[in-house]
Every structure is written in C-alpha cells, then in structure tokens.
Structure 1
Amino acid sequence: MIEYERHDLTGVPDYRGVEFEPRRSDYCLLIPVINEGARILTELGRAQRAGIDKQCDIVLCDGGSTDGSMKPDTLALYGVNTLLTKTGPGKQGAQLRMGIYFALGRGYKGVLTIDGNNKDSIEDVPRFIEKLREGYDLVQGSRFIRGGRAVNTPPIRYAAVRLIHAPLTSLAARQWFTDTTNAYRAYSREYLTHPDVRPLRDVFTGYELLAYLSIRATRLGLKACEVPVTRAYPATGKTPTKITGFKGNSDLLKILLAAMAGKYDP
C-alpha cells in the first residue's frame, strides 16, 4: 500500500491517495463518490462478482465522505485498486479532474467513469473497453438504445433527457446521442490529452466537464458511439441522485448551453 498527498497542481484539486495495488490494466474505471454508504459497497460487490476488477483498475474518487464507506481495509477487500480523496475545492468535476490526472500519470490507454450510487450496470464495463480498443474516443452509455434498459426512471428526468438535454447535446456535437446526462462513459487517452481539449482546468467544478466532453470529441473530428447499459432507480424510497428540484435541472441546462456556445473551449 502506498499513501501520499498532492498539492499545488495546476488544474487539479489538492488530494491524497492510497494505492492498494500498482497498475494492472490498460484501462481504469473512475467512480466519483461522496457519502454513498452501502450503495457503493453493493456496486463494488457486483463488480467483483462480474470480474470487472480483473478487466480494469477500479479507482474511487472520493469527495470527502464522512459516512465510513471509504475505509481502506474494506475497499481493498472489494477489489479497489486506488482510493483518491479530494481535499481541495470543487464537486464532481473536481473529483473527475483528480481521477483523470491520476489516470493519465499512470499511463492508462482509456478511462471509464460511472456513478457510485449503484444505479448503473457496472457489469457492462467490457462493452466500453471493447469500443476503446476499436478506436473510439468517446463511448457513451445509453439506457435508451437497443439492448439498454431504463428502470423506474422518474418521469420528469425521462422527459428532460429525451426532449431537451439529448437533442441539444446532439445538435452541438453534430452526432445523435440519446442519454447525455448519463455519466457512465469511456474516454480514450488520445481524447483526454488532445491539445484542444485540456480537461484539467479549474473551470470544471461541477457538471461542466461531463457536458463539455459530450460535445468536444465529435467537434474535433474524433470518433464517438453509444453502448447499451441499464440504469435502474429504486421502485420506492428516496431517489439516489445529486440533481434535484428545479434549480438542479436548470443548472444542468445552463451548463449545457454554455458548453454549446464554446465557453469551456480552451
């Protein structure tokens, strides 16, 4: 086990890391989490049973959880390769920048991302890796294409994605996408290191990076595609999501419009 801290990195929040294993794969799976409790441990258990930890290195990008779910000894038993804990400012975008910085420094050929709230079919990771190996630079998971499944999607969320967010993203990207708020994705090293992309910038604090990377690839002539996945919301109880209410959805739209206008372009 290797423990360390990183400070004063341009475009990367301060963070500390615990590496349980060295790099084992050409690909890594970044999972941004904060106080996901049993949900992230259930997701990691599913990944382990499906052998995902043998096909890519699982890297948790913690935003500063206080619920006890990020105990290193427990995570090591679940097949986690590395735990990164953000100590600097920012939300999901900062967590992803931390993870991308780590992944690029380790020399991975591709980077996958998935939410840590156990809504997504982590068993489908091989589909993303296959597309990266075929030469795609952006691989978007979609519950709305053939082979995908949308389970208990809240009606307002369904309408917002299908009727507003996906059409606008597709218009900007000049390629049709169907599930553009879905963070279950993969990016090639070539995309993330492209001089006209530069994902490691402080402007990406929240959901800006997801919107930006959805659009930028095809605008630069890089290859993008979708693969089928399942996203399942619980039938009862509180919906596990960080995007809630009118403000949360309106903020997503504002971010998308800014990305469409090129405001995040370097």
Structure 2
Amino acid sequence: MKTLLVLPTYNEAQNVKILLPKLLNFAFLDILVVDDNSQDGTSDTVKAYSEKTLKVNLIQRPYKLGLGSAYVEGFKWGLERGYELFFEMDADLSHNPEDIPKFIEKVKEGYDVVIGSRYMNNTISVVGWDFKRLILSKFANLYAIGILGLKGLSDVTSGFRCYRRSVLENVNLDRIKSNGYAFQIEMVYKAYTRGFKIAEIPIIFYERNSGSSKMNRGIVLEAIIIVWRLKFGKT
C-alpha cells in the first residue's frame, strides 16, 4: 500500500537530521514534512534531503499554525496523491521508527486506525517524564475515554498512529479545527463513532532530547473543552 508519513515540525533541525535517515530505511514509506516557519534551519535540512530523493517532501507554512492544522494539510496533500495509509509521528525522537512495521501488520489484520499506546495492559511505557507530566497525560486519557465512551482504548492522546485512507475521507477534515492533544482525541472519536475498527499496539515513548516542547496551558485547556464539544455534537 502506498504509505505517507506526515511529520509536523517547528524548530526540529537537530532532530530531523537523525530521524529522516531512519525513516528512509523503509522503502515503502514516503515522508511529508510540514514546517511551521522554523527559525533553526529545519526546512533547509529537509530541502537537502528532498533534493536527493523523491521520498522526502516539504510544505513550508508562513508562521506557526499548530499541530492539528499541519496534519490536516498533510493528510489532504496525501489524499490528492493517492496514498492509502497515513502515519502520524512526532519529529522530536519521542517515537521509535522501528515500530512502524508493527502498525502495518495490524492494518493488514483489518484495522482502520492503529494507535501506538503508552498505557496498554495497565502499564506505563514512558521514559524521561516527571511525575506531574505523567499524571497529566494519564488523567487526560482517562477523562477523554470515560466521557466519550471510547471502550477498549488506553491512549487517545498518542501522536504515533496510522490511518487508512477511508478514515480520513470520512471524518471531514475541513471540520477539524483542534490542535495538540485535542486533535488526537477528535480524530479517534470521529473514527470510533463512524464504526471504523481501531486497535492499539504497545510503544515506548521517549522524552525529547533537543528542541522545545509544544505543551502549554492552552493545549491542555483545548483538550478539556473538545471532549465536551464532541460529546454534545458541537464539532
């Protein structure tokens, strides 16, 4: 299946230098970097790769527009070009590229959405977070899963996942307005309520080594609000 990995970036120059060579090891995978006007040379690094191989592509945006809109733009780009599978992945080395084949295996079993979970089977697979950050993430998942009734899932805020084309065609990307955690929650909820088959696979999440975290109070507040908007059909 023709497969695209969408990689949003904002000041990730050092990280993409490490990540892109690893992703290029997968012959079946094309990469689309959506860069939000990074000031550290991220786009220049990506351009250097795109000049060497057609497998690396770049969308440069004029300013910081957010994670959710980066994925929406990337997904639309891929849909227009006939891709069948779409990966989400963080650019900060938090996700291990070696897990990618495990997602593909699950899709071949008949699943439409595959989520890389940090919390499967009552475990916590996170390296480098302090207790406060861990509790925040766990609570966000329990909160969203409980209110929205997402049975059988453990990590609806995870940013490492794979979608079939049919999911993206049915969730109405033009109506997706959220970013950060909220975007991940909204996407899985809309897939779930439309009857798509969703599976999780275990991953280990690693805290970033360089660059700046995108987490802030606004992202947390948006996630809290989006759950209720989704529950009452306001989005």
* TM-score (norm: length of structure 1): 0.77
**Residue 239 (structure 1) shift:** 8.0
Matched, 1:42 2:15: no
- Conserved in 2, the CA contact under 8 Å of 1:36 and 1:117? yes
CA distance in 2, matches of 1:238, 1:131: 31
User: Which segments of 5 or more consecutive residues in structure 2 lack a partner in the other structure?
Assistant: none
Deviation at 1:221, TM superposition (A): 1.4
Is 1:242 the counterpart of 2:214? The answer is: yes
- 1:254 aligned counterpart, secondary structure: helix
State whether structure 2 residue 114 is matched by structure 1 residue 139.
Answer: yes
Distance 1:27 1:173 in 2: 30
Q: SS at 1:118's partner residue?
A: coil
Name the structure 1 match of 2:163: 187
**Higher mean C-alpha deviation, range 104-113 or range 174-183:** 174-183
Contact 1:143 1:179 in 2 (8 A): yes
Distance in 2, matches of 1:39 and 1:79, equals: 20
Report the AA paired with residue 81 of structure 1: V
Distance 2:219 2:80 in 1: 33
User: Which residue of the partner structure matches residue 198 of structure 1?
Assistant: 172
Q: Which amino acid aligns with 2:184?
A: L
Match of 2:142 in 1: 167
Identity of aligned residues (%): 23
Q: How many angstroms does 1:142 deviate by? A: 0.9
Q: Deviations over 1:101-135 (max 9, x none)?
A: 11111111111100111111122111112222222
Cα RMSD for the two superposed structures: 2.5
Is the partner of 1:166 in helix, strand or coil? helix
In structure 1, C-alpha distance between the alignment counterparts of 2:73 and 2:12, rounded to whole Å: 19
- Equivalent pair of 1:86/1:98 in contact (CA under 8 Å): no
CA distance in 1, matches of 2:150, 2:223: 20
How far has the Cα of 1:247 moved from its partner? 4.2
The match for 2:33 among 60, 66, 73 is 60
Aligned to 1:4: none
Contact 1:62 1:86 in 2 (8 A): yes
Task: Name the counterpart of 1:18.
Answer: none
1:69 aligns with 2:45: no
Any conservation in 2 of the 1:140–1:225 contact (CA below 8 Å)?
yes
Preserved contact between residue 47 and residue 122 of structure 1 (Cα < 8 Å): yes
Q: How many residues align?
A: 230
Counterpart of 2:193 in structure 1 is 219
Measure how far apart 1:227 and its partner are.
1.0
Spell out, residue by residue over 1:8-66, the C-alpha distance to the aligned partner (whole angstroms, 9 max, x if none): xxxxxxxxxxxxxxxxx611111111111201222223334xx23x1311111111222
Provide the secondary structure at the position in 2 that maps to 1:252.
Answer: helix
Residues 123-132 or 83-92, more deviating: 83-92
Flag the 1:257–1:41 CA change in 2: closer, same or farther, 3 A. farther
Inter-partner Cα distance in structure 2 for 1:33 and 1:101: 17
Task: Look up the SS of the partner of 1:218 in the other structure.
Answer: helix
Q: Tell me which amino acid in the other structure corresponds to 2:229.
A: A
1:260 aligns with 2:231: yes
Q: TM-score w.r.t. structure 2 length?
A: 0.86
CA distance in 2, matches of 1:30, 1:173: 28
C-alpha separation in 2, matches of 1:216 and 1:64: 30
Q: Which has the higher helix share?
A: 2
Alpha carbons of 1:32 and 1:238: their partners in 2 closer, same or farther (altered >3 Å)? closer
- 1:153 corresponds to which of 129, 150, 172: 129
